[in-house]
Structure 1
Amino acid sequence: MRHPEYQYLDLLETLLERGDRRIDRTGVGTLSIFGAMMRFDLSDNTFPVYTTKRVYWKTAVKEMLWFLTGETNIQSLLKNNVTIWTDWPLDKYRRMTGDEISQKEFEKRIVEDDAFAKAWGDLGPVYGKQWRRWLDADGREHDQIAGVIETLNNNPSSRRMLFHAWNVPELSGMALHPCHLVYQFHVGGLGRTEKPKLSMLCYVRSNDMGLGNPFNICQQAALLAMVAQQVDMDLGELVWVGGDVHLYLNHEDLAREQLARAPRPFPKLHLKRKPDSIDGYTIDDFEVTGYDPHPPITAPVAV
């Protein structure tokens, strides 16, 4: 059986061979294709962390846990040694103040100075705000995650088990428009003697295949594992669907280096305990075994 990571490598190869060269929002430029799909079978607790370069899965899962809190300020992320969202508020701070502060010093001030963090560390109403505190026209907040879990428990054959972050009136206030946009759940095997299987599809309107996608895939698998545990279901498939699938021009060497490497077996994920709710997970609950990747490959982030 062909290793499932080849789905990702095939996309990298396609982008290099026939991606449409485009000028993008960041000014860096991309090679782009439109429309792609990957499927990962998680039924044996496979954790799809790519192996052709080291993926720092703990950082990715910490980001997912942060989304689930509903928070939008990078202070709590930085306190957990996650720096992947710093570029956007740092860029805004430099442009608005003229202070060419280093990233390290900026992050230090965010962590240590609550007033500075409040003024400069907020990303606007990004993912977590929309997932957990969607504000409607009447001023009421809606917890989309809680709604999905309630429906999975009470009406698992529903075709309406989804949440999303594309809140049109609030897009202009976001540091970055949502990329992983829609999450939809599907339950298979209802009425059989064994446990039903929970699958999840994630539609990503725009996906950076060099840096973003490796993070997204493993954190989406982690989310599926948490939700499945909460509703007492077995794991099914993670289905990833990409809209504008692209490779930044300054990531071409990264892609070629990965394509020269052969995938190794995916690791396994075990959740050490079952918290009372989806809000109760911490990074210490995730036990990943058998991860033996090739060395990391560094590449710049396009802001």
Structure 2
Amino acid sequence: MEKVKVVAPATLSNLGSGFDVFGMALSEPFDIIEARKTSEPGVIIESVEGWGAEVITLDAALNSTGVAAAEVLKKSNADFGIAFNIKKGFRPGSGIGSSGASAAGGAVAANLLLKNKLPPRDIVACAAESERVTSGSFHADNVGPCVLGGFTVIRCYEPLELKKITPPKNLGVVVVMPSFTVKTLDARTVIPKQVKLSDMIYEVGNASSLVLGMCSGDVDLIGKSMTDIVVEPSRSKLNPGLMDAKKAAIEAGAAGSFLGGSGPCVIAIFDNSLTDGKPILDAMLDSYKRANIAVDKTWITTWGEGCRSL
């Protein structure tokens, strides 16, 4: 291959009780990453278009796509370079893995251009290195599901080990994106440095039952288990309207609701064999309207298969 085009979807991280461990790919929205080989070594970002493009650097050493692709080329000892054109389908600072999609898309595109392909774990690791540069920490809860698709669990970071689970077919997702942004770097500074033993037990119990729900296809159990009493409450001060929006979603029939990543997106899940999710979305929008908080965009979607070539 001399050139490729890759769809890189938005992702949900944490899913309430699984901070830096759980992630899930969405069917939409998504970025489109176009890449072509160049004779000169190195990575070039030729253009960034779409939502939020004005705040995304063309410096490949600082751009999510560029850093991830460079890691792939380095790990594979490639003798060529890559030029990228990026089309953003959702904005940075959204809480649904904008930088992760760009990073994963760059890593997957670079890997497709290789003669000898890297294994999926290495692709995820290269994309996670990009997250270290752009958000200040090596984390794979967004790039993992973006590369692999479905629901992913990070068993271990050193060495990096991920497991993929196929979510229930009837798992619907509502995404509400308020108009303000939250930087991952800022959101990580408010996280408690120490956790009470009782809180740890609570989190482990819910995280374990969430995985059980994914494996057994129990949407209600998944929703009940999306409960976090450590990270999410500490981030609520950066995400006005969060708690009321979550409450509105549950009262409208959602199985569970949680803060998407660092925010500001608020997520609700539901059984799409019972409802189309619109009453849940309407209730969340009414909550934000009462709080005089503008909403940029909403989606009613489901889980997806991760990066794919077009």
Instruction: Give the TM-score, by structure 2 length.
Output: 0.25
Greater share of strand: 2
Greater C-alpha radius of gyration: 1
